[in-house]
Structure 1
Amino acid sequence: MASFKERIFRKEDPSVYEQKDAHLSRTLRVRDFLALGLGTIVSTAIFTLPGTVAAQHAGPAVVISFLAAALVAGLVAFAYAEMASAMPFAGSAYSWINVIFGEFFGWIAGWALLAEYFIAVAFVGSGLSANFRGLIAPLGLVLPKSLANAYGTDGGVIDLVSVVVIIAVAYLLSRGASEASRVENILVIAKVLVVLLFIVVGCTAIKPQNYVPFIPKYHLNPDGTAFGGWQGIYAGVSMIFLSYIGFDSIAANSAEAKDPGKTMPRGILGSLIIAVVLFVGVALVLVGMFHYTLYANNAEPVGWALRKSGHGVIAAVIQSVACIGMFTALIGMMMAGSRLIYSFGRDGLLPRWLGKINNKHLPNNALLALTIVAVLIGSVFPFSFLNQLISAGTLIAFMFVSLGIYALRKREGKDIIDPEFKMPFYPVMPFLAFAGALIVFLGLSTDAKIYAAAWFIFGLIIYFCYGMRNSALGREKEEGKDVG
């Protein structure tokens, strides 16, 4: 019988994951991953966060906040690219850390990401619902409050549109990753085009005086948060970072990539670079069109700025395409989330039926579980207080992956393949990626850290009461000892 310490540090053999994931079809190409990453990263945040962060924290210096957040995300993305190239397994950080540091630490990293996917799918479903209802309202089509809002919110019982949208995306994904990717590619192109349309049209309404002062003087907001100075820029970084974490959705599907040694780095880094250019462009134009104070408490700053500038038709077009484009974020997050849950089931840390694939080689049981939980969170229960938990959990996983590069390098070319892509400026860059993620994490609100701690305590209970006892790796190790 293995000791407690042996159970905690037991590591999975990478060849075992290769065998377990061999049944997943490798059909996704670079363009599919670029679309997947852009579809997840360039979501509703690009139309809301630039104005919100400018008004609440940074003023015109919101551009610096976006660049600083992008720098940290970029450092971590290099670590992700090497990990995915060396270990193209389903489950991204969970599977990598399981191999590098051991099952317990893999569980912590995976559990952190699971919070992101559960809540992010629910949030996007709810956001799409709100935008859709806003679009049909002028036509006289209004849902009763009981079917339009989450339970206990403004007379709501269930958010019906959110339910339908999440189930529709789940049905699309259940038919195969390649089919979902075709839809994703088309919608992402449309979404990028409307972002570029806003930048071009918005440039005609820029007033240079709106950029002065570029970094407002520091003071505290009434709620105690920072505004202006480097403190406001830092507060903006922690708020904005959520926008860039979508590249994990690419890595989670690496077991379905063609030639992952080339495909994964290009997809991860390429999608992030394009997204950064678009985010910075929107932020720069938006704060130039109107004084940043006018975006306070504005849920749709991009549409508002266009209408105030006399471009009402373009505003309507952008809002319509943005609404449709939210499907791309749902596709990306539900693909990644279902592959993560599949990985847990594959390894016995959650019920094994979650790790089964159907006759089309798809993890549809895991997809069903994700869909049910996301529907419950997003359409039945109020969940606004959990918004920063997405960033908190993901940042913890990012720190694990960044430090994992040091352990990975020692095994590359031995029991782990020597990847075609490697993180540059080793050993400095992995440390910078870890430090950057830690700094962003420390900038999150106290509530976010408390909610993250509660989620991890819940995860530890599940692991010690179920996962450790039913672990496939644990049984393999015990059987190996018995045979010896």
Structure 2
Amino acid sequence: MNVFRTKSIDLIKEGAGQKGLKKTLGASDLILLGIGCIIGTGIFVLTGVAAAKYAGPGIMLSFVISGLACAFAALAYAELAAIVPIAGSAYTYSYAALGEIIAWIVGWNLILEYSVGSSAVAAGWSGYMVGLLKSGGIELPKAFTAVPADGGIVNLPAMLIALILSLLLVRGTKESATLNRVLVVVKLVAVFIFLAMAGPKVNPANWTPLMPFGFSGVAAGAAIIFFAYIGFDAVATAAEECRNPNRDLPIGIIGSLLVCTVLYIVVAGVLTGVVPYQELNNAEPVAYALRSIGYHFGSALVGTGAIAGITTVLLVLMYGQTRIFFAMSRDGLIPAGICKVHPKYGTPHVITMVAGVAVALIAGFTPIGIIAELTNIGTLFAFVVAAIGVFVLRYTRPDIPRPFKCPAVPLVAPLAVLSCGYLMFNLPVETWIRFGIWSAIGFAVYYAYSYRNSALNKRKTITE
């Protein structure tokens, strides 16, 4: 049993050619796709929570630490994406560099990352929408806006937004990218409105002490807010629908990360400078900060921008989720029937709707809570594997054409592994336990189904 068999890059490209997706995305689409997923929950929700509970004003340093870890991983991703411009991101890269069993467990954890992340974001979208309607005099009954554990029957708004975005993703990637572009502009305007209004009101005294919980608090905050950065992984999942992947993917991955890191640090600084960090542990810290300094109309505008921001995060997360499923099903590791591409829209419509229904059900009936931290650990694990993969390929396949080369790989790849590993170390023990249980289930599924049904296994049987 050879569980470390690798899939050659030529074979990966051959499979994509037989069951490929429509190429509609350019560099600007990819940058906006990344911004669409990165700027959202991180700025509008997690910044306040992480500052109040973990880092204090040191949340600015937390974003620097997370941003650096992502920068190292992004350089590795950019090289791998240019070499293997196929759907699947770290899953596909691992298959080419490290072997099937590693690729499987990466893909298995990416499925959890995107599913749990999408459900949590859908629930957050519901909270903002219910609050906005309430401020306008429309109060929805709690029975249909809260999960059973919170005293309701079903979180209907969360289910509806998940299903609506699933239908949009079925219609086409370009159509989804167009909506994403509009919503990204709306939320960036909201962010700049906040900076323009709150910036002059910053009181530097609120930044003292800078690290009230010590550096360990800053590190814990960096691990928690890492959820905000997973967008550039979603850019990598779009590789197969990119018109010029060799050039555009590195631009999209690195460009979106740079823009968002700068915005995160600036917003975190202004937010903790306007309001004492102890007051920021609420569902809408940015809007709360504006209300606290008397800008109630500005708060409403930012709240609207937050809804747009969270919508784009959900759209891109659900998009990424379906592309991971698509790549794994094409390789035979999960049933191939869900790999069908719609003859008109050129999208994997079956898995898109299946995944959309699953996200809707989780968001509608399950309290997410601490399990959302699984999104962080799954992403960090994928980043570690991708960094190892680019290092390994430099030595095992030095002949591969590399349209984009990660600079100083002997330095950058280990730094990516160490920095992402450090953030994983700072996640709660409960998260590690859940990660271990989910991975154990994944190994069981692999040995029970995926190994025997792998396209590589069938190819070997035919050859023999």
TM-score by length of 1: 0.93
Aligned residue number for residue 184 of structure 1: 180
Deviations 1:297-329 (A, max 9, x none): 322221111011111101001101211222211
Equivalent residues in 2 for 1:219-238, closer than 5 Å? 227=213, 229-238=214-223
Q: Which of the residues 344, 364, 372 maps onto 1:379?
A: 364
8 Å contact from structure 1 (residues 347, 355) kept in 2: no
The 3-state SS of whatever aligns with 1:388 is helix
Runs of at least 5 residues in structure 2 that lack an aligned partner in the other structure: none
The 3-state SS of whatever aligns with 1:387 is helix
One-letter code aligned to 1:348: G
The range that moved more, 272-281 or 20-29, is 20-29
Q: 2: distance between equivalents of 1:236 and 1:154? A: 27
Deviations 1:194-248 (A, max 9, x none): 11111121112111211223233xxxxxxxxxx2x21111111111111112111
Q: 1: distance between equivalents of 2:158 and 2:51? A: 29
Aligned residue number for residue 301 of structure 2: 317
8 Å contact from structure 2 (residues 94, 389) kept in 1: yes
Equivalent residues in 2 for 1:44-123, closer than 5 Å? 44-123=41-120
Aligned residue number for residue 385 of structure 2: 400
**How much does 1:153 deviate?**
2.0
For the pair 1:282 / 2:282, whether they are aligned, the reply is no
Percent sequence identity over aligned pairs = 34
The range that moved more, 390-399 or 354-363, is 354-363
**How much does 1:143 deviate?**
2.4
Aligned residue number for residue 389 of structure 1: 374
One-letter code aligned to 1:241: F
Q: 1:331 to 1:368 in 2, by over 3 A?
A: same
Equivalent residues in 2 for 1:12-411, closer than 5 Å? 12-22=7-17, 23-150=20-147, 152-216=148-212, 227=213, 229-295=214-280, 297-360=281-344, 361-411=346-396
One-letter code aligned to 1:74: A
Q: 2: distance between equivalents of 1:323 and 1:79? A: 32
**How much does 1:256 deviate?**
0.8
The range that moved more, 189-198 or 11-20, is 11-20
One-letter code aligned to 1:190: V
Q: Which of the residues 432, 438, 443 maps onto 1:455?
A: 438
8 Å contact from structure 2 (residues 6, 96) kept in 1: yes
Q: 1: distance between equivalents of 2:372 and 2:111? A: 14
Q: Which of the residues 410, 419, 429 maps onto 2:412?
A: 429
RMSD: 1.4
Q: 1:290 to 1:138 in 2, by over 3 A?
A: closer
One-letter code aligned to 1:276: T
Q: 1: distance between equivalents of 2:64 and 2:356? A: 34
**How much does 1:292 deviate?**
1.6
Q: 1: distance between equivalents of 2:169 and 2:45? A: 28
Q: 2: distance between equivalents of 1:210 and 1:81? A: 39
8 Å contact from structure 1 (residues 412, 418) kept in 2: no
**How much does 1:411 deviate?**
4.9
**How much does 1:344 deviate?**
1.3
One-letter code aligned to 2:438: W
8 Å contact from structure 2 (residues 184, 308) kept in 1: no
Tell me which stretches of 4 or more aligned residues in structure 1 moved more than 4 Å: none
**How much does 1:421 deviate?**
0.9
Deviations 1:360-412 (A, max 9, x none): 32111121221121112111222223111101111111111010112221355
8 Å contact from structure 1 (residues 145, 154) kept in 2: no
The 3-state SS of whatever aligns with 1:142 is coil
Q: 1: distance between equivalents of 2:192 and 2:182? A: 16
The 3-state SS of whatever aligns with 1:204 is helix
8 Å contact from structure 1 (residues 346, 356) kept in 2: no
User: Number of residues paired by the alignment?
Assistant: 461
8 Å contact from structure 2 (residues 186, 308) kept in 1: no
Q: 2: distance between equivalents of 1:410 and 1:254? A: 24
